[in-house]
């Protein structure tokens, strides 16, 4: 049949889509690098490189010690959240599933806060507790989802609401018992804050997140089958249970790390995968890398907006994503609700 | 004719209670077997056992004269395909992508389908009359179209045995007949062996060479439709009074439920 080539995901299509999105990502990074209260342009930076002007130490500091790590971390966080969204949507067979909505992000946040209260180090101890918080929440959600694995939208949303309500209470408890000076930074962090970005976080986060997402990507084909029902996936030879555990562990690790860096940033895992699915289709071999790269672009854009809109003061980036995400969520629920709430 | 699948004294239990006991069945090449029985009689369980998805505690199953337990999951998936009662793709996969997923058990470590896989999928869609639907999103399709796409996926699996779990239960009469016609054509032209669970006894009787009547986890009767479907057997197993006569066109047994309200109506007249 003519044109059927078009409906099939080929390695070439994955590569070209990946390259195009990487190009957009690079452009976004450069664009964001030029924006900020201290008006330094990339042209200035280029003149330093070519040596036609001597290096301005302050400007250099702002560009590469403050802005760049923040931009890169925003990209990494967006990458992780969108990727996690895609994987959970497949495993729960529900397009509304997302780390924030399911309460996994707040679970990780509770872990992070407990780690901080216990006085653990930020490089290993705190992320470990975040990971455990995320894992605990995932097991809770899957326990509620039950043996068949799929979650109806209404059950999923109620589960998320209850888990979020409980963890918010735990978080408020810890914040209330913490001294006043730390309160502000903690609250900021809670709403998703990237202003504390350091290269050291990248050096831990980047290799772990790339490795873990690479492993999960290996099972993209299997996720396609799970979307069509666990039983028929099993029949075709997908190791459903094994794949679930790998995904839970992997996504907990990734989400835990990201939350310990940047707090709770919601809706990225909802908006980006949905848009990508509309444009590129549902095949996970294409969707997973596309959503991850798209998530990176999206969060860099959101964070750039967050740090420039009220310049010189800043907004937590989670505020921006929630402003965009909540209406989008309602739109999705209304638009497709009837179909997605069917069992 | 060769026997594709043989069940000998198969018994299965989830816990202490036996769900299925002493099941003997031979599935021959190109044969359509209709499985009937009341809810909870073990039809779906038996189908899963034939597919090796549930491990039996007693008896043995032979697939092409080798014990089913010797096969890996992938080996089984290349020989047996299952068409679920209903499937819920909630994401916008195209019908073609869904059919292409049937190649899963045949792919090596390289995770993309090649030209040949694509041709097989296209051919399966031709055989099931779904080629026009290829670019459409799976969740835009009607129930009957979706079932045909899933049968195309089973064909793409290149399985010799196809198990169908109530493939027509959500369909109207026209689409029910369409599915049975399709199964029957495929078994004749492709030599497929088919086991299908059905609640529509009279319709299944028109298309199946043999019927298997399950009752409380064991075979009540197995044989040609006319032997299995009698007023006595159906009334006894379903615990519902029925009248069985011959379908005047197909000459196969036809089941009519004897309504308890009939007498009342006559009185009112």
Buried b (16+ CB within 10 A) or exposed e, B58-97: ebebbbeeeebeebebebbbbbbbbbbbebbbbbbbbbbb
pLDDT of A231-279, one tens digit each? 889 999 898 889 988 998 999 999 999 999 899 999 999 999 999 998 9
Is the interface score ipTM higher than 0.95?
no
Give the closest of A237, A285, A342 to B74, CB-based: A237
Inspect the interface and report whether the beta carbons of A231 and B118 lie closer than 8 Å. Answer: no
Predicted pLDDT of residue A108: 94
Judge whether A48 and A64 are in contact, CB under 8 Å.
Answer: no
Return d(Cα A129, Cα A110) in angstroms, integer.
Answer: 8
Residue B10's closest CA among B212, B237, B230, B236? Answer: B212
Predicted pLDDT of residue B156: 94
What homologous superfamily does CATH list for A12-336? ABC transporter involved in vitamin B12 uptake, BtuC (1.10.3470.10)
Q: Which two tokens stand for residue B233?
A: 């057997």
Q: A340: which chain B residues are within 8 Å (Cβ-Cβ)?
A: 90
The stretch B44-59 carries a mean pLDDT of 93
Predicted pLDDT of residue B194: 96
Inspect the interface and report whether the beta carbons of A4 and B93 lie closer than 8 Å. Answer: no
Residues in chain A, how many?
Answer: 343
Q: Which two tokens stand for residue B80?
A: 């047996």
Cis? peptide before B102, omega within 30° of 0 = no
Inspect the interface and report whether the beta carbons of A285 and B118 lie closer than 8 Å. Answer: no
B172 vs A75, more confident: A75
pLDDT of B105-149, one tens digit each? 999 878 899 889 999 999 999 989 999 999 998 888 888 899 999
Predicted pLDDT of residue A5: 47
The burial class, CB within 10 Å (0-12 / 13-18 / 19+), for A314 is: middle
Q: B100: which chain A residues are within 8 Å (Cβ-Cβ)?
A: 8
Nearest-Cα distance to chain B for A77, in Å, is 25
Helix B115-127, helix B173-190: angle, nearest 10: 120
SS3 B60: strand
Residue B269, pLDDT > 60, answer: no
Inspect the interface and report whether the beta carbons of A282 and B139 lie closer than 8 Å. Answer: no
Predicted pLDDT of residue A231: 83
Tell whether B51 is within 8 A of chain A (Cβ). Answer: yes
Inspect the interface and report whether the beta carbons of A221 and B157 lie closer than 8 Å. Answer: no
Tell whether A283 is within 8 A of chain B (Cβ). Answer: yes
Best B111, B149, B161, B166 member to test A by mutation, with max A CBs in 10 Å, is B111
Q: What letter would DSSP give residue A6?
A: G
Residue A181, pLDDT > 70, answer: no
Q: B97: which chain A residues are within 8 Å (Cβ-Cβ)?
A: 7-9, 224, 281-283
3-state helix, strand, coil in chain B (%, to 5): 40, 25, 35
pLDDT band at A1 (very low <50, low <70, confident <90, very high): very low
> Which of A64-78, A104-118, A247-261, A288-302 tops mean pLDDT?
A288-302
Residue A336, pLDDT > 70, answer: no
The burial class, CB within 10 Å (0-12 / 13-18 / 19+), for B202 is: middle
SS3 B226: helix
pLDDT of B199-234, one tens digit each? 899 999 999 999 999 999 999 999 999 999 999 999
- Write down the domain spans for chain B: 82-158
Residue B268, pLDDT > 60, answer: no
Q: B81: which chain A residues are within 8 Å (Cβ-Cβ)?
A: 235
Q: Which two tokens stand for residue B53?
A: 């998805």
pLDDT band at A63 (very low <50, low <70, confident <90, very high): confident
Judge whether B201 and B235 are in contact, CB under 8 Å.
Answer: no
Q: A229: which chain B residues are within 8 Å (Cβ-Cβ)?
A: 84, 87-88
Nearest-Cα distance to chain A for B195, in Å, is 16
Rounded to 5°, the CA angle A91-A93-A95 comes to 110
pTM confidence score: 0.89
The stretch A149-154 carries a mean pLDDT of 69
Buried b (16+ CB within 10 A) or exposed e, A99-114: bbbbbbbbbbbbbbbb
Inspect the interface and report whether the beta carbons of B157 and A236 lie closer than 8 Å. Answer: yes
pLDDT band at A337 (very low <50, low <70, confident <90, very high): very low
Per-window interface: B 147-186 vs A, CB < 8 A: 157
Nearest-Cα distance to chain A for B227, in Å, is 33
Q: B101: which chain A residues are within 8 Å (Cβ-Cβ)?
A: 224-225, 228, 236
The stretch A8-29 carries a mean pLDDT of 94
Q: Which residue of A has its CA nearest to B74?
A: A237
Q: Which residue of A has its CA nearest to B107?
A: A221
The stretch A57-83 carries a mean pLDDT of 90
Tell whether B77 is within 8 A of chain A (Cβ). Answer: yes
Q: Which residue of B has its CA nearest to A273?
A: B91
């Amino acid at each position: 049949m003519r044109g059927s080539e078009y409906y099939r995901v080929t390695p070439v299509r994955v590569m070209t889509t990946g390259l195009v999105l990487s190009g957009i990502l690079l452009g976004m990074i450069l664009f964001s690098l030029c924006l900020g209260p201290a008006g330094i342009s990339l042209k200035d930076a280029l003149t330093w490189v070519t040596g036609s002007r001597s290096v301005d130490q302050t400007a250099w500091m702002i560009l590469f010690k403050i802005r760049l790590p923040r931009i890169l971390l925003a990209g990494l966080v967006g990458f992780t959240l969108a990727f996690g969204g895609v994987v959970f949507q497949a495993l729960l067979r529900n397009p509304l599933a997302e780390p924030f909505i399911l309460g996994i992000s707040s679970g990780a946040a509770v872990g992070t806060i407990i780690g901080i209260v216990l006085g653990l180090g930020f490089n290993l101890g705190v992320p470990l507790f975040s990971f455990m918080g995320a894992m605990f929440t995932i097991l809770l959600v899957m326990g509620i989802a039950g043996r068949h694995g799929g979650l109806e939208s209404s059950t999923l949303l109620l589960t998320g609401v209850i888990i979020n309500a409980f963890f918010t209470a735990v978080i408020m408890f810890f914040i209330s018992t913490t001294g006043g000076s730390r309160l502000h930074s903690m609250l900021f962090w809670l709403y998703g804050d990237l202003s504390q970005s350091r290269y050291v976080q990248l050096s831990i986060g980047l290799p772990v997140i790339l490795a873990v997402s690479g492993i999960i990507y290996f099972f993209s084909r299997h996720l396609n089958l799970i979307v069509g029902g666990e039983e028929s996936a099993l029949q075709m030879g997908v190791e459903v249970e094994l794949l679930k555990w790998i995904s839970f562990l992997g996504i907990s690790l990734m989400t835990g790390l990201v939350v310990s860096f940047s707090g709770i940033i919601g809706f990225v895992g909802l908006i980006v995968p949905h848009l990508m699915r509309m444009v590129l289709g549902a095949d996970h071999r294409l969707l997973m890398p596309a959503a991850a790269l798209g998530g990176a672009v999206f969060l860099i854009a959101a964070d750039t907006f967050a740090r420039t809109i009220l310049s010189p003061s800043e907004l937590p980036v989670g505020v921006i994503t929630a402003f965009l995400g909540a209406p989008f969520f309602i739109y999705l629920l209304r638009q497709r609700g009837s179909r997605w709430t069917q069992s | 004719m060769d026997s594709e699948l043989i069940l000998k004294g198969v018994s299965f239990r989830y816990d202490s209670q036996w769900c299925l006991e002493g099941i003997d069945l031979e599935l021959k090449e190109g044969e359509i077997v209709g499985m009937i029985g009341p809810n909870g009689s073990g039809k779906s369980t038996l189908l899963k056992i034939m597919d090796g998805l549930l491990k039996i505690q007693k008896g043995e199953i032979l697939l092409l004269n080798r014990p089913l337990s010797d096969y890996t999951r992938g080996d089984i998936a290349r020989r047996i395909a299952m068409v679920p009662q209903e499937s819920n793709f909630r994401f916008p996969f195209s019908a073609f992508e869904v059919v292409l997923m049937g190649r899963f058990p045949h792919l090596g470590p390289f995770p993309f389908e090649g030209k040949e896989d694509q041709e097989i999928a296209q051919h399966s869609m031709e055989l099931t009359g779904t080629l026009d639907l290829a670019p459409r999103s799976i969740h835009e399709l009607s129930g009957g179209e979706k079932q045909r796409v899933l049968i195309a996926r089973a064909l793409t699996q290149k399985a010799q045995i196809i198990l169908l779990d109530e493939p027509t239960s959500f369909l109207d009469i026209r689409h029910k007949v369409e599915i049975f016609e399709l199964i029957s054509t495929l078994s004749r032209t492709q030599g497929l062996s088919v086991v299908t669970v059905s609640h529509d006894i009279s319709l299944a009787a028109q298309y199946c060479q043999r019927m298997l009547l399950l009752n409380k986890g064991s075979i009540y009767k197995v044989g040609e439709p006319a032997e299995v479907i009698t007023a006595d057997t159906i009334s006894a197993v379903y615990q519902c009074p029925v009248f069985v006569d011959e379908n005047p066109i197909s000459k196969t047994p036809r089941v009519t439920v004897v309504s308890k309200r009939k007498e009342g109506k006559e009185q009112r007249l």
